[in-house]
Amino acid sequence: MDLWSSPDPNLHQQCYDPFVNELFALRDGFGSSGRYLPSTSSSHFFPPAVETPRKKGQRRNTIINTPDGTQRRPITRIPAEVWADILRRCIPSREENDRIPTLSPRKAPMQLTAITKGLRHIALAMPELWASISLVPNRDHELPCPETLEYWLRLSQNLPLTISVSRNRYRGAGDDLEYLFWKLAKWSGKRWEHLYVNPIGIHGADGRWRRYVFPRLKSVTIQGGIQPPSLPECFKSLVKTSESLRALSWTDVEPLQFERRSELPLNVSLPLSRLQYLKLSNPLWPSDALHMLKAAPMLQTLEFTALKGIRYTSVIMGTYPTQPIQLLHLRSLSINALKFEEECGQAVRTSMDDFLPYIFTPNLHSLSVGYNDDQRSPFAALQSFLTTTRCRLTSLTFSYAPLSSKELHWILAHLTSAGSLRALAIKAAPQVASPLSNQLTSWMLPSPQCLVPTLQHFSFNVSALNASSPGAVTNMLKQRCKVRPRFLRSVHFEDLCQVESRASTPNEIIYIREFAARYRLITTSN
């Protein structure tokens, strides 16, 4: 019988094997619908059918002994959706290993003869296949029962777990999903290594966060959903006993509203001595983020986006450090300066003004600055930061930054004197004041006064050129290549589709592509 024919609706009742029932739960949980999904593990490869050796005189369809000591009859057919889940967990995709072909269930019809005798025993004998538990329901029946979760935990033995909990687009499973989350925390919290939580109403108002410890956590990703009253308890519980925590990411789609300062999530001290990666987007005030950095002296990568469009008072802002926080190990900093107003709209401040003056990063290599306010320029904060820290940047990115020509010239000249800049990216939206002009090409032309002569990677947005044309920038790059052949390694042109739509510039696009082909540069467009 063809394996990939339509599944039998009564197959659930025909399955005597508990493992196949778990595969059906996997099928419902992942919602693969017969499509091939990339593997989460690239260290194992299993053929689509495994023929186990038979004893002399033993027939193919006989009762077999299962690992739990019971005798079961093999199943003669399993739907394509279940088989796709087996492939997903057992076969790496082409991107992970080019030597192993990607199998498609729709193009691989075969007879199922030894699936329960072969892959069943293999899957049960591989605990790492069960070390990743994902609860992402789209409907009620896709949530596994607690007994199923307990069975998966037994199969994973004592390996570290990766837990992913998300309500996805379905909003009707909030209570059940929260119940399963706390069950997992109770049964296996000490084994959690990676945790991802996406919008889900995990309240924890009854003090549940205090009951569990997570000593093996290495990375935590929280993408909204946790209610403000339980935020302090959540953070303290996740990191208070986790000495191995390396990465922490917290993103909220909507800014949180805090009525009292006692509700702020980081009004507590956190042991983050080994934290290396920190991403904060929207949820925190700059003062609270700064206090958090005090507890993370080993931080190497920081991404910070402040609150947007929320009015605040001086009480809710909190206090700022009296001395700059020294982040001696910080290598990469990304900051988005979203504006927010004080109460009654008396003044406008930005997170960059309230953040950069309070950190000291002498070993910073990569800086990315984002801005969306066309009324104020971030130049003052950037100038003070670069002058004070004296860091030798190798990569600089501006996104929607309203810098004037004089301000941009000072920044590039300052980095030229350091002699370390290797990558420069300048992006801007058409409605934002352009940071580029015709002067940029003259600044970067090869000459004794050339800016950033050590540049190897250049990326720019065509819409950010303003009066300048792509051909002028390309001519500048061409002159640099003549002086220092093969020093410029990659050029990234963005928004070429918009330029191609203009009738006056198709020749310039052809010129850019010919230039890239001649000098073997990597030229891409979105």
Quick check: 155 and 124 in contact, CB under 8 A? yes
- Counts for the chain of helices (H) and strands (E), in that order: 15, 19
- What average pLDDT does range 30-53 have in this prediction? 32
Residue 364: pLDDT band by 50, 70, 90 thresholds? very high
User: pLDDT tens-digit profile of 84-95?
Assistant: 455 444 443 334
Residue 460: pLDDT band by 50, 70, 90 thresholds? confident
- For residue 107, the model assigns a pLDDT of 34
Do strands 71-72 and 64-65 pair parallel, antiparallel, or not at all (unpaired)?
A: antiparallel
User: pLDDT tens-digit profile of 302-337?
Assistant: 988 765 544 444 444 556 777 888 899 999 998 876
The rounded Cα 288 to chain-centroid distance in angstroms is: 23
Measured distance CA(180)–CA(165) in Å, rounded: 9
170 or 13, which is more confident? Answer: 170
Quick check: 216 and 192 in contact, CB under 8 A? yes
pLDDT at 62 over 80: no
Write out the H or E segment, with its range, that includes residue 249.
strand 247-251
Quick check: 468 and 442 in contact, CB under 8 A? no
- The residues near 335 (Cβ < 8 Å, ≥ 6 apart) are 303, 304, 305, 351, 352, 355, 356, 368, 369, 370
Q: What is the pTM of this model?
A: 0.69
- For residue 525, the model assigns a pLDDT of 57
Quick check: 78 and 20 in contact, CB under 8 A? yes
- For residue 301, the model assigns a pLDDT of 92
CA 109-113-118 angle, to 5 degrees, is 105
Q: Beta partners for 312?
A: 342
- The residues near 57 (Cβ < 8 Å, ≥ 6 apart) are none
- For residue 229, the model assigns a pLDDT of 55
- What average pLDDT does range 343-358 have in this prediction? 60
User: pLDDT tens-digit profile of 233-251?
Assistant: 676 677 666 677 888 888 7
Segments making up each domain of the chain, as ranges: 11-54+61-124, 128-253, 400-526
Cβ neighbour number for residue 12 with a 10 Å cutoff: 11
Arithmetic mean of pLDDT over the chain: 65
- For residue 14, the model assigns a pLDDT of 37
- What average pLDDT does range 42-48 have in this prediction? 26
User: pLDDT tens-digit profile of 97-128?
Assistant: 333 333 333 333 333 333 444 555 556 666 77
Alpha helix stretches (DSSP H) within 52-173 = 80-90, 119-124, 146-155
Residue 39: pLDDT band by 50, 70, 90 thresholds? very low
One-character DSSP codes across 157-189: TT--EEEEEE-TT--TTHHHHHHHHHHHHHHHG
- For residue 450, the model assigns a pLDDT of 81
Q: Looking at mean pLDDT, say which of 32-36, 82-86, 152-156, 506-510 comes out highest.
A: 152-156
Residue 407: pLDDT band by 50, 70, 90 thresholds? confident
Measured distance CA(354)–CA(291) in Å, rounded: 13
pLDDT at 148 over 90: no
Measured distance CA(397)–CA(201) in Å, rounded: 36
- What percent of the chain has a predicted confidence (pLDDT) above 90? 5
- For residue 265, the model assigns a pLDDT of 47
Measured distance CA(17)–CA(422) in Å, rounded: 60
Q: What SS3 class is residue 49?
A: coil
- The residues near 103 (Cβ < 8 Å, ≥ 6 apart) are 36, 48, 87, 91
pLDDT at 365 over 90: yes
- What percent of the chain has a predicted confidence (pLDDT) above 70? 45
Residue 49: pLDDT band by 50, 70, 90 thresholds? very low
